[in-house]
Structure 1
Amino acid sequence: MKAELDYSRGPEKTWVYGGLRPADGQALTMTASSRNSVFYQQCLQQIEDANPSGEIWIVTDNLSSHNSLSTRTWLEDHPRIHHAFIPVGACWLNLQEGWWRIFRKAALAGRSFADRDDIEHATTLATNQLNSRANPWIWGRPTSPTRLLRRRYAYTVRGTQH
């Protein structure tokens, strides 16, 4: 089941953009009134500002704003940022998707918001709380814990003599 991206009540919609740095689990979020190239580029700029050195790889879906002419032109002026587009229908390849599930539960689940400012406040608060206890994100299942006091039994089968 897909979660709706509309977090507001009434005619105004609010979109939440974000990025996850898997190495330390820190995330960045921003709210926007539209899901278009302009706001996507603003999010990319915030991600670049938060990561002042080295290359930045953005793993993203194939939304039109992520690959628009405007965004590609913007990226030419920001050579540290590279896109890796995930295949259609394979969102589970993006580590950010797990973070979004946790974020939605912390910030948005079961809540009604009066206006866009309330959504922005909830987004900022939840992001700060999640970042305060962030850990590295690793793709895949964690290894099973070892049992230290495991008893080992050895059974021997003896033949019976007649």
Structure 2
Amino acid sequence: IIPGKNNSANFTWFLTRLAEAIDPTLKIYLVMDNGSSHTAHATRRWLAAHPRFVVTYTPKHASWLNMVEIFFSTLTRQLLRRGDFTSRDNLANKILHFIEVHDRTAKPYRWTYTGEPLKAA
């Protein structure tokens, strides 16, 4: 794989690691956008050869998915990159606390079509 590259080779490498980490008797459900690494011929061939993966593609230009991506970006910038975590449980507890605080103080995003980033209303 090539670090930092969002391509089919890296994505199928990730899917292979995911398959190895999850009980082989279980199906794996994926909800994915229509990004090029998710829809590439090589990715579709890989998924066809691994029927335990059940894929649902979101509608193109799905604004709800953008909102989820914005939330995870906020979580990453405000907690994960700055965080000091002593254990997996500590990390989980801090994420849950972040979500509780975020839910109390969150403001709706105002959607713009000008190509500018989304801004809090």
Partner of 1:89: 61
Three-state SS of the structure 2 residue aligned to 1:32 is coil
Matched to 2:78, the amino acid is K
Three-state SS of the structure 1 residue aligned to 2:29 is strand
Give me the whole-angstrom Cα distance separating, in 1, the residues matched to 2:22 and 2:68: 17
- Answering whether residue 14 of structure 2 is matched by residue 43 of structure 1, we say yes
Structure 1 residues 46 and 59: CA distance shift in structure 2, 3 A:
same
Partner of 2:44: 72
What's the TM-score, normalizing by structure 1? 0.43
Q: Which has the higher contact order (CA 8 A, sep 6+)?
A: 1
Give me the whole-angstrom Cα distance separating, in 2, the residues matched to 1:41 and 1:95: 25
Structure 1 residues 45 and 94: CA distance shift in structure 2, 3 A:
farther
Deviations 1:64-102 (A, max 9, x none): 110111011111221111221111222524896334431
What's the TM-score, normalizing by structure 2? 0.55
Matched to 1:33, the amino acid is G
Partner of 2:115: none
Deviations 1:107-138 (A, max 9, x none): 447xxxxxxxxxxxx9xx7xx57853366xxx
Deviations 1:46-65 (A, max 9, x none): 22233224111111110111
Match of 1:132 among 70, 80, 92: 92
CA RMSD of aligned residues (A): 3.4
Q: What stretches of structure 1 move > 6 A for 4+ residues in a row?
A: none
Give the alignment of 1:1-162 within 5 angstroms: 32-52=3-23, 53-93=25-65, 97=69, 98-108=71-81, 132-133=92-93
Matched to 2:56, the amino acid is A
Give me the whole-angstrom Cα distance separating, in 2, the residues matched to 1:81 and 1:56: 5
Give me the whole-angstrom Cα distance separating, in 2, the residues matched to 1:73 and 1:45: 13
**Which structure has the larger Rg over C-alpha atoms?**
1
Q: Is the deviation greater in 100-109 or in 77-86?
A: 100-109
Three-state SS of the structure 1 residue aligned to 2:9 is helix
Cα deviation for residue 41 of structure 1 reads 0.7
Q: Which has the higher helix share?
A: 2
**Percent identity, aligned pairs only?**
28
